[in-house]
A and B are shown apart, each in its own frame.
Chain A
């Protein structure tokens, strides 16, 4: 079973320079930080979904659906406790629920999910090697760039190992069907120990294999797929910049897109 999030397609988004995509994602992150009105953020979310659609990568979104839902729900529950608004909607036994805090909570949920989805654009459309190369050409030291891309690469590997471990323990009678959440938590050890052991063994082997193929983080190396900026890259970057400037204008000069002032 392939757990990797990379979608091996050939769309114009796949063909963009990794530097464009990394910069673009950072710009999208920044845009999300400009608003805290759910409607405004929802427009950005839609935009990101469109990009994913054009990158033919909605599938990887489906893989991560639980994480996205969890992020959203979590922020819906947490934020109303910390942010107070003005308009009271409900009052239960002296506990007030404000309209603004609910809206803010929705906005934050959307914002977090949009962060993840924007990250998905990068991961679903860019080969790991290209991310490494892009980061290096943006001036990151090689060991750091390599560490980042390796971490990304290992996620599906360990997810796969994790799935096998769950199956192996279920086969010996570990009962995951019981509803009691505390009981379930105590059954964590049979999963945690093997995954740590596997992770340690695997990374050890990986580093042996890397060095045996002549790799050393300190030594110079060439790039088989050296990225270069094309016309499309500049078009994407400039349009994103224009959008970002417009958004800054809306937020700073029009003071729109905010439900709670003095907060990001």
Chain B
């Protein structure tokens, strides 16, 4: 088998950066191999992807040393559009890489650039739209697709050009579990076709099928090995800021030797070697009382919503009460109405019919600035709000707008900056910060207003594991101080570990609403909304234990055996 990609002592430094984004990378990828790249945010994963099709250094300028060869073509000798025949690159931001009006034209775009004739195009369009499972959407407008469909289209459009090497930069981050599985099955099919596939991801479930896993840290590849070798090296994973497979951590903490990588393997090992923890009469106790106080803070009554220009209801007859002190996670597929619902809480959207009550009063009876003090809404993309020249001004902006006095502005701003871990950044320009830091600035700017309810839309996308944990711990801390938290998320483990209550939406209605444990036990309802619990909760469900995280499960099982032996 030949060599598909050869990277030869590659260094790269962005023009404005102070240190190398890629440092001394030497690697070879054989034809037909599937390589998954892991690493913390800012480890250089995306930069490495960009170097494989010549975007670096041709488009993104900087200092490059060393060489990258793809199929014996030196990337610096060819223009990017010429490299496109050899390397297909799927970007992380799937909105920006879809620029045609409908599905078939999106796929045709690359083929037109290859100067294929109509018959060849027709054949490939059909083949690849079918390959990514969008055949019935062939004439659909790109904007009407769901997130998962858009991502699949982006992949299909690249595959149709039949490049020898396909590089995907985090193709599954914004997707629900079913959407993720779809992408994974595509990668499996590519493998069967002996295409070389390089994929950056943050989810270890993706890596299980790979031939090799590379782990990156601070611009270097620290280990290249088989998935099992890399994923079972827990200390190394932790030091690189990557999430550790839950089931592995579970076995390690139980003091067991086996190394199961997913729930299936775990259950198999438990059956074979640790049957003592299987207790047939164990029953799941559910605390049905709301976790928060009895006092409702947000209430919707017969809420319907549709955009004026569209005939379809996006929210259909929602009746919902959120209590003070809860952490509510709203889950559901893209387009299920989660964001639309949340935007009603501070009247960014007004009900088409029905009403939304905040502290018993209709949102439409409030003045906007009064609502801003009660319900804070943190948007998904921090770039939609950042405009000030310093972090301090950005965080203080809301307070100034609300007409607070100098003393209060200073006090609240300082506090918000401290809580979000931005101390020392006060005079820096927010535009020069990393995505994770910008997200924290955006969050601090809402926090400084001290709203009683904080609504967060996808607070953890684009963050690596370590940052996700710290962001969620911060929210938990605020919740302990009495704030009500509502998060919209795709991440199952975040909902499992942090939410006290889970609401599942599908096509504009709530299909399940209850205590977190209860909801994640009912895998059928989850499946209806294309959701799957995380590996450890699947194990916990099988055992019928109360736990929703590795630590809880270990504690629960050890506690049980303690009481039994006593």
**How far is B142's CA from A127's CA once the two chains are assembled, in angstroms?**
12
1/0 per position for A179-220, CB-CB distance to B under 8 A? Answer: 000000000011011100110011001111111111110011
**How far is B111's CA from A207's CA once the two chains are assembled, in angstroms?**
17
B197 CB–A CB distance under 8 Å: no
B121 CB–A CB distance under 8 Å: yes
- Selected interface stretch from A46-54, A76-84, A161-169: A161-169
B157 CB–A CB distance under 8 Å: yes
A90 CB–B CB distance under 8 Å: no
B383 near A176 (CB under 8 angstroms)? no
- Selected interface stretch from B64-72, B242-250, B384-392: B384-392
1/0 per position for A134-157, CB-CB distance to B under 8 A? Answer: 000000000000000010010000
Give the chain A neighbours of B398 by CB distance below 8 A.
172-173
Set B79, B85, B97: member contacting A216, Cβ < 8 A: B79
A219 near B387 (CB under 8 angstroms)? no
B540 CB–A CB distance under 8 Å: no
Q: Contacts A167-B343, A206-B96 hold; do A211 and B84 have CB atoms under 8 A apart?
A: yes
Q: Interface of B with A (CB < 8 Å)?
A: 53, 55, 59-60, 79-82, 84-85, 88-89, 91, 93, 96-97, 99-102, 104-105, 108-118, 121, 125, 141, 143-144, 157-158, 161, 307, 309-310, 343, 346, 348, 367-369, 372-373, 376-379, 381, 383-387, 397-399, 401-402, 431, 445-446, 449
Q: How far is the CB of B446 from chain A (nearest CB, A)?
A: 6
**How far is B450's CA from A173's CA once the two chains are assembled, in angstroms?**
12
A211 near B80 (CB under 8 angstroms)? yes
A4 near B383 (CB under 8 angstroms)? no
Give the chain B neighbours of A63 by CB distance below 8 A.
309
A225 CB–B CB distance under 8 Å: yes
**How far is B85's CA from A169's CA once the two chains are assembled, in angstroms?**
44
**How far is B102's CA from A4's CA once the two chains are assembled, in angstroms?**
12
Give the chain A neighbours of B84 by CB distance below 8 A.
211-214
Question: Which A residue's beta carbon lies closest to that of B167?
Answer: A212
B401 near A4 (CB under 8 angstroms)? no
Name 15 A/B residue pairs within 8 A (Cβ), A-sorted.
A164-B381, A170-B368, A171-B376, A173-B398, A189-B387, A202-B96, A209-B91, A211-B81, A213-B161, A214-B82, A221-B112, A224-B111, A224-B121, A224-B125, A225-B108
Give the chain B neighbours of A128 by CB distance below 8 A.
100-101
For the complex of A and B, list the 4 residue pairs with the smallest distance between their C-beta atoms, beginning with the closest: A193-B387, A214-B84, A214-B113, A224-B108
Set B367, B384, B385: member contacting A177, Cβ < 8 A: B367
A230 CB–B CB distance under 8 Å: no
**How far is B345's CA from A170's CA once the two chains are assembled, in angstroms?**
13
Set A8, A164, A197, A215: member contacting B113, Cβ < 8 A: A215
Q: How far is the CB of B334 from chain A (nearest CB, A)?
A: 14
Q: How far is the CB of B80 from chain A (nearest CB, A)?
A: 4
Give the chain A neighbours of B108 by CB distance below 8 A.
224-225
Question: Which A residue's beta carbon lies closest to that of B139?
Answer: A8
Give the chain B neighbours of A161 by CB distance below 8 A.
384
Give the chain B neighbours of A213 by CB distance below 8 A.
84, 97, 109-110, 113, 157-158, 161
Give the chain B neighbours of A164 by CB distance below 8 A.
379, 381, 384
Q: Contacts A167-B343, A172-B449, A222-B116 hold; do A127 and B121 have CB atoms under 8 A apart?
A: no
**How far is B90's CA from A67's CA once the two chains are assembled, in angstroms?**
38
B449 near A214 (CB under 8 angstroms)? no
Give the chain B neighbours of A211 by CB distance below 8 A.
55, 59, 79-81, 84
Q: Interface of A with B (CB < 8 Å)?
A: 1-2, 4, 6, 8, 59, 62-63, 127-129, 150, 153, 161, 164-165, 167-177, 189-190, 192-194, 197-198, 201-202, 205-216, 219-226
Q: How far is the CB of A118 from chain B (nearest CB, A)?
A: 21
B112 near A222 (CB under 8 angstroms)? yes
**How far is B368's CA from A62's CA once the two chains are assembled, in angstroms?**
27
Give the chain B neighbours of A153 by CB distance below 8 A.
99
**How far is B125's CA from A199's CA once the two chains are assembled, in angstroms?**
31
Give the chain A neighbours of B118 by CB distance below 8 A.
222, 224, 226
Set B89, B111, B143, B449: member contacting A4, Cβ < 8 A: B143
**How far is B327's CA from A74's CA once the two chains are assembled, in angstroms?**
51
Q: Contacts A197-B383, A205-B96 hold; do A62 and B309 have CB atoms under 8 A apart?
A: yes
A129 near B105 (CB under 8 angstroms)? yes
**How far is B97's CA from A207's CA once the two chains are assembled, in angstroms?**
9
Q: Contacts A167-B343, A172-B398 hold; do A8 and B141 have CB atoms under 8 A apart?
A: yes
Q: How far is the CB of B151 from chain A (nearest CB, A)?
A: 14
B401 near A173 (CB under 8 angstroms)? yes
**How far is B111's CA from A165's CA once the two chains are assembled, in angstroms?**
36
B372 near A173 (CB under 8 angstroms)? yes
Q: How far is the CB of B190 from chain A (nearest CB, A)?
A: 18
Q: How far is the CB of A192 from chain B (nearest CB, A)?
A: 8
Question: Which A residue's beta carbon lies closest to that of B143?
Answer: A2
Question: Which A residue's beta carbon lies closest to that of B140?
Answer: A8
Give the chain B neighbours of A129 by CB distance below 8 A.
100-101, 105
Q: How far is the CB of A236 from chain B (nearest CB, A)?
A: 23
Having A1-B307, A171-B446, A224-B105, one finds 15 other A-B pairs with CB under 8 Å, namely A8-B141, A129-B101, A167-B343, A167-B377, A171-B378, A172-B376, A172-B445, A190-B387, A209-B96, A213-B113, A213-B161, A214-B81, A214-B113, A216-B81, A224-B118
Set A59, A175, A194: member contacting B401, Cβ < 8 A: A175
**How far is B59's CA from A63's CA once the two chains are assembled, in angstroms?**
38
Set B53, B100, B373, B383: member contacting A201, Cβ < 8 A: B383
Q: How far is the CB of A35 from chain B (nearest CB, A)?
A: 33
Question: Which B residue's beta carbon lies closest to that of A154?
Answer: B99
Give the chain A neighbours of B309 by CB distance below 8 A.
2, 59, 62-63
Q: How far is the CB of B408 from chain A (nearest CB, A)?
A: 13
B117 near A222 (CB under 8 angstroms)? yes
Give the chain B neighbours of A206 by CB distance below 8 A.
96-97, 99
B384 near A198 (CB under 8 angstroms)? yes
**How far is B105's CA from A226's CA once the two chains are assembled, in angstroms?**
12
Q: How far is the CB of B345 from chain A (nearest CB, A)?
A: 10
Q: Contacts A167-B343, A214-B110 hold; do A198 and B383 have CB atoms under 8 A apart?
A: yes
Q: Contacts A165-B385, A202-B96 hold; do A197 and B431 have CB atoms under 8 A apart?
A: yes
